[in-house]
C-alpha cells in the first residue's frame, strides 16, 4: 500500500481522489491545504477520502509519496522541502519549472534528499517518445496550441487582437517556450513539459492561436531528429469541474500513481 500526501484538493485533486478511492494499493491519508481553503475540498474529501487528514504543511509528516495538484506556489512551499527530507514527489504543475533556476533547485533538493521528483505529462501525450528521441539527437520541436478565443481572456492576447470579433484563427504568440511561459503562465504546462522532455525552453518553438473554429484545446507537436520524425495532434476535453483544466491531466496523475503502486508498470 502506497501512503500518499496530496498537495491541494481543487478540480484536479478531487478528480484524482474519485478515481482512486476504491484502489486498495493507493491511499491518500494526508491532504495539504492552506488555512481557509477547506470549503471547496470538504465535500470531495468526505466522499472520496474520508480517511485523509487535512494539514497546512508537511512538517513532521513522512508519506511514501507527495503528489502536487495545487499549482505553482506549492512547489516552492512544499515540494522542495519534502524532497530535501527524502520524500519522493510528483509534480503536475510543470509550467512552474519555466521560472529561472527552478529545474536546478528541484534537482538539487532531490539529490540532497537522495530521492526523485517525477514530472507528470499532464495534458499532452508523446512525452516518452520525445524523451527517447532526445537520446539519439533532436533537431527541432514545434508546439502549436489552439484554444477558443474566450479561453484567452485575461491574457496578453486581449491587447493583441479583439477576441470577441475574431472570425478566423489568429496567431497571438510565436517564439520559444521560455517566452511563452513568461507571457502566458497559466498556459505554460504543455510547452514546459515538451521542453523538459526535448530541447529545452529556449530551443522549443511555440505558436499559440485564438481560433473560433475550435471548441476544445488543440495541441499539435512536431519533432524531427536522428530517430526520424513524428507529429501528434490532441484535442483535449476539459475537466467538467474546471473548464480551464484538461481531463487528461487528472488521468495522467492517476496513471503515475498506479504505476508507483503496482508490481507491473508501463
**So which residues are the catalytic ones?**
219
The verdict on whether residue 123 carries a ligand-binding annotation is: yes
Sheet holding 65-68, edge to edge: 53-55, 26-32, 2-7, 65-68, 89-91, 117-119
User: Could you tell me if 114 and 83 are in contact, meaning their C-beta atoms sit under 8 angstroms apart?
Assistant: no
Closest alpha carbon to 33 in 16, 25, 45: 45
CA–CA dist 52, 13 (Å, integer) = 13
User: Could you tell me if 251 and 123 are in contact, meaning their C-beta atoms sit under 8 angstroms apart?
Assistant: no
The Cβ-side half-sphere exposure at 209, using a 13 Å CA radius, reads: 18
Burial of 35 (0-12, 13-18, 19+ CB in 10 A): exposed
The verdict on whether residue 259 carries a ligand-binding annotation is: no
CA–CA dist 80, 63 (Å, integer) = 15
Cell numbers linked to 89: 514527489
Determine how β-strand 228-236 pairs with β-strand 217-225: antiparallel
Q: Which residues are annotated as a binding site?
A: 123, 189
Q: Which residues are annotated as a binding site for NAD(+)?
A: 123, 189
Amino acid at each position: 500500500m502506497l501512503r500518499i500526501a496530496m498537495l491541494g484538493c481543487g478540480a484536479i485533486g478531487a478528480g484524482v481522489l474519485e478515481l482512486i478511492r476504491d484502489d486498495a494499493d493507493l491511499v491518500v491519508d494526508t491532504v495539504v491545504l492552506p488555512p481557509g481553503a477547506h470549503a471547496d475540498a470538504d465535500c470531495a474529501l468526505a466522499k472520496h477520502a474520508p480517511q485523509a487528514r487535512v494539514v497546512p504543511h508537511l512538517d513532521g509528516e513522512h508519506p511514501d509519496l507527495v503528489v502536487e495538484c495545487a499549482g505553482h506556489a506549492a512547489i516552492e512551499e512544499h515540494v522542495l522541502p519534502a524532497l530535501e527530507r527524502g520524500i519522493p514527489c510528483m509534480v503536475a504543475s510543470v509550467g512552474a519549472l519555466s521560472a529561472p533556476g527552478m529545474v536546478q533547485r528541484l534537482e538539487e533538493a532531490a539529490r540532497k534528499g537522495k530521492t526523485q521528483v517525477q514530472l507528470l505529462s499532464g495534458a499532452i501525450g508523446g512525452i516518452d517518445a520525445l524523451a527517447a528521441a532526445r537520446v539519439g539527437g533532436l533537431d527541432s520541436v514545434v508546439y502549436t496550441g489552439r484554444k477558443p478565443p474566450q479561453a484567452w481572456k485575461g491574457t496578453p492576447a486581449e491587447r493583441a487582437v479583439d477576441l470577441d470579433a475574431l472570425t478566423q484563427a489568429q496567431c497571438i504568440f510565436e517564439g520559444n517556450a521560455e517566452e511563452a511561459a513568461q507571457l502566458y503562465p497559466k498556459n505554460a504546462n504543455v510547452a514546459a513539459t515538451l521542453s523538459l522532455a526535448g530541447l529545452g525552453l529556449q530551443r522549443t518553438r511555440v505558436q499559440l492561436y485564438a481560433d473560433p473554429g475550435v471548441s476544445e484545446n488543440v495541441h499539435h507537436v512536431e519533432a524531427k531528429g536522428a530517430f526520424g520524425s513524428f507529429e501528434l495532434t490532441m484535442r483535449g476535453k476539459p475537466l467538467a469541474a474546471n473548464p480551464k483544466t484538461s481531463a487528461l491531466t487528472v488521468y495522467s496523475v492517476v496513471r503515475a500513481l498506479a504505476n508507483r503502486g503496482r508490481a507491473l508498470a508501463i
